[in-house]
Amino acid sequence: MPAEPSADEASLRTELGRQPNKSLLRFLTCGSVDDGKSTLIGRLLYDTKLIFEDQLAALERDSHRYGTTGDDIDFALLIDGLEAEREQGITIDVAYRYFATAARKFIVADTPGHEQYTRNMATGASTADVAVLLVDARKGVLTQTRRHSFIASLLGIRHVVLAINKIDLMDYSRSRFDEIVEDFNAIGAEMRFESVVPIPMSARHGDNVTARSTHMPWYDGPTLLEHLERIDVEEDLAAAPFRLPVQYVNRPNLDFRGFAGAVAAGTVKTGDTVAVALSGKTSRVKAIFTPQGEATEAEAGEAVTLQLEDEIDVSRGSMLVAPQTRPHVADQFAAEMIWFDDHHLLPGRSYILRTETQQVNATVTDLKFKTNVDTMAHEAAKALEINEIGTCTLSTQTEIAFDSYGFNRSTGSFVLIDRMTNATAGAGLFRYPLRRSANVRWQALEMDRAARAEIKHQKPGVIWLTGLSGSGKSTIANLLDKQLYAQGHHTYVLDGDNVRHGLNRDLGFTEADRVENIRRVAEVAALMADAGLLVIVSFISPFEAERRMARERLPAGDFVEVFVDAPIEECVRRDPKGLYARAQRGEIANFTGIDSPYEAPENAEIHLQTKGTSPEASVEFLIQWLRDNRFM
C-alpha cells in the first residue's frame, strides 16, 4: 500500500505558520441527563474532523450494541468513556475533550447534569471561560438550567451560550425558541452574565452546530462553532495589580535564589519594587526567567522565576505583590463554600485550607446560610451537605494573603481538605476579610473543651508515661514534647522536676505522699487537657490504683497509658541520676524497684520496650499511635 502524498507544501506552511499562534478557549457544557450534551460534543469533534477512522469504526460497533439512535451513529458513546457509563448510559465524571479549528484550540469540560454530581460541574466551571448551557427544546428552562446558571455565575463565568437543542423535535419552531429565551432571561438577569447568546440547534442532525441549518431561515445568528471561534473572553488580567503566589524556591547554588510561580495578575519588570504580602518587606526584581529565557518583563499567565535584589524571607506560600495595591491579609474572612464530601461541613471542625500555594489549618467559625441552588433563596443551616453551597466565615491558624474571587480567580480561591481522609472536601471563594475584634463569631460554639481544642487543631489528652526510674521516661517525654511542638501542637510536660519543686514541695516519698503526689498531678493534667493541651506526664507512678484514678479523671479515650518498660538490671546499669547506687547503699528509702514495689500496668494503651530500642524510635511509634488515634 503506497503512502498518501502529504498536503500541498504551500498550504502546509500556511497552516503551520498559523497553528502555533492560535488562541485557547476553555468552555464547559452542562445540561440535564437527556439534553444531548455528549451528542453535541461528539458532533463538534466529528465535524471538526477530530474523530479518526478507527475510532469511528469502534463507534459504529458500539452504536449497535449500546446505542439509542437506531441505525445512526450514537455520538454520545464516543464521549461516555468509562465502562460503567457505557452500561448505564449516564455520564458520571467530568471529561475533557480537545478540538481545534484554524483560529482556536478548544478545551471542553463535559460536565454531568446529574444532581449528585454538582461538584463536577463546579470543577469544570472553575477553569472555563464560557458555559454552554443545554436546554431541551421540548422541556424548556428547568430547575437544572437555573442551577447550572447559578454555579457558572458563582464560579466567575461571564459568557453563556444557551444551546436550545432538539429544536427539530419542535418542528424548528421560532415561537418555542423565543419562549425559552424569554424564560431564561428572567433568571439570567440575576446572574449578571456579560453575554448570553441563544442558539437553536439539533446536535444529532448537526443543525447550527458547525453548519448553518437550512430548517430555520428565521434564525440569523451565528452557529455554535462560529460563536465559540469569535467570542472575546480576554479579561485584562495583565492590567491588574501584580500577584505572584510563590510555588517553589529554586536554589541550585549559593549565588542563585529564584522564586518560581505562575503570575496570577499584572505584569512585572526588572527593577520593579515588589512586596511580600504577609511580612510587608519589599525588594526589587533583579532578573526574570520565563520559559522563553531571561526576560525584562512577564505578565499574567506566565510561569516565571524571579530573582530579587535583597535577601528577604520568601518561601513557598508567600505572595509577591505590587506594593501600592496589596491583597487582603487576615485570619478571619467570609467565603462561599461548595461542598463535595459525604462528611458534612460542620462549623467548629478543623480542616486544612489550601490556596494555590499556601496551606494552613482552618476552622469554619460560622455558617451564615446555605443558598438553595434552585431558587437562590438563603436558608438557615447547621451543616453543609454534599453538593450544597453556603456562605461562611472561616478562621485560620495564621494570617493568609488573598484577593476576593471577583478580583482574581487564582488568588481568590481555596479548597478545604479533610484532615483524616485527605479528601478534597470543599471549594471556597474568598469574599472579604473580617476585622478580628469586630467579627469573631463564636456563637455557634460553646466555650467548652472541644472549642478550646479546636482552635489548637488537636484532640487534647494526657499521655501518661509510667515506669521505673531509668527506664527512659524523661528522655522520651522531652523528645515527644519537642516533636509535637515542631509539628505545631500545644503541649506541656509534667514531671518530677517541675512538680516536686513547687506544687508538691510539701510531699515526701511515703506511700501516702506518693498517692497524694499522683492525685495532684492527675488533677493538674486533667485541667490542662480541659484547656486543650496535650499533656505529657512522666512519673514513676508505681501503683495501679493511682493510675486508674488518673484515667477516670478524664473522658474515656483521652487518657493514654504508656508503659515505659526496661528490666530493673538495665535501669540499675543506666542509673542516669545515680539514684540506684544511693538506694542500694541505703541512702534513699522507699525507692521503687529496690525496697518499694512497682506494679506493672496490665491494660496500658502502649507498651514500649526501651532496651535495645532508641528513644527516637519509641517516639516515632508514639506519634504514629497518636495520629492513628486522631489526637493530631
Q: Taken in order 206, 210, 214, 219, is the CA torsion positive or negative?
A: positive
- Nearer residue to other proteins within complex by CB, 112 or 467: 112
Please indicate if the annotation marks 33 as binding a ligand.
yes
Q: What x/- string results for residues 45 through 74 when contact with other proteins is judged by CB under 8 A?
A: -------xxxx-------------------
Which residues in 86-115 contact other proteins (CB under 8 A)? 86, 92-98, 100, 104-105, 107
The residue assigned the cell 526510674 is 469
> Euclidean distance between the first and final Cα of the chain, in Å?
68
Of 17, 70, 252, 578, the one binding other proteins by CB under 8 A: 252
- Nearer residue to other proteins within complex by CB, 23 or 398: 23
- Nearer residue to other proteins within complex by CB, 119 or 456: 119
Torsion of CA 157, 160, 166, 169, to 10 degrees: 140
Asked if 364 and 349 count as a contact pair (C-beta separation under 8 A), the reply is yes
Please indicate if the annotation marks 404 as binding a ligand.
no
| Separation of CA 614 from chain center | 37
Using the rule CB under 8 A, give the single segment among 22-30, 511-519, 573-581, 613-621 that binds other proteins: 22-30
Please indicate if the annotation marks 406 as binding a ligand.
no
Using the rule CB under 8 A, give the single segment among 77-85, 167-175, 386-394, 610-618 that binds other proteins: 77-85
Of 75, 177, 333, 340, the one binding other proteins by CB under 8 A: 340
Residue 561 has which C-alpha cell?
A: 497509658
Q: Residue 164 burial (CB < 10 Å; 0-12/13-18/19+)?
A: buried
Which residues in 284-313 contact other proteins (CB under 8 A)? 289, 291, 301-303, 305
Of 153, 283, 541, 618, the active-site residue reads: 541
Per rule CB under 8 A, is residue 427 in the interface with other proteins?
yes
Q: How many CB atoms lie within 10 A of CB 54?
A: 8
Per rule CB under 8 A, is residue 187 in the interface with other proteins?
no
Q: How many CB atoms lie within 10 A of CB 236?
A: 8
Q: How far is the CB of 441 from other proteins (least distance, A)?
A: 26
Torsion of CA 414, 418, 423, 429, to 10 degrees: -20
| Separation of CA 127 from chain center | 16
Of 119, 204, 431, 490, the one binding other proteins by CB under 8 A: 119
Using the rule CB under 8 A, give the single segment among 254-262, 265-273, 436-444, 505-513 that binds other proteins: 254-262
- Nearer residue to other proteins within complex by CB, 275 or 415: 415
What is the edge-to-edge ordering of all strands in the sheet holding 130-136? 95-100, 104-110, 23-30, 130-136, 159-165, 195-200
Q: How many CB atoms lie within 10 A of CB 48?
A: 14
Per-residue three-class SS string for 72-83? CCCCHHHHCCCH
The residue assigned the cell 472541644 is 450
Which residues in 439-498 contact other proteins (CB under 8 A)? none
For other proteins (CB under 8 A), the number of binding residues is: 77
Per rule CB under 8 A, is residue 361 in the interface with other proteins?
no
- Nearer residue to other proteins within complex by CB, 172 or 340: 340
Our answer to whether residue 318 is catalytic in this structure is: no
Cα 253 to Cα 4: distance, rounded to the nearest angstrom: 53
Please indicate if the annotation marks 37 as binding a ligand.
yes
Asked if 500 and 513 count as a contact pair (C-beta separation under 8 A), the reply is no
- Nearer residue to other proteins within complex by CB, 299 or 331: 299
Per rule CB under 8 A, is residue 23 in the interface with other proteins?
yes
The residues annotated as belonging to the active site are 541
In the annotated binding site for GTP, the residues are 31-38, 110-114, 165-168
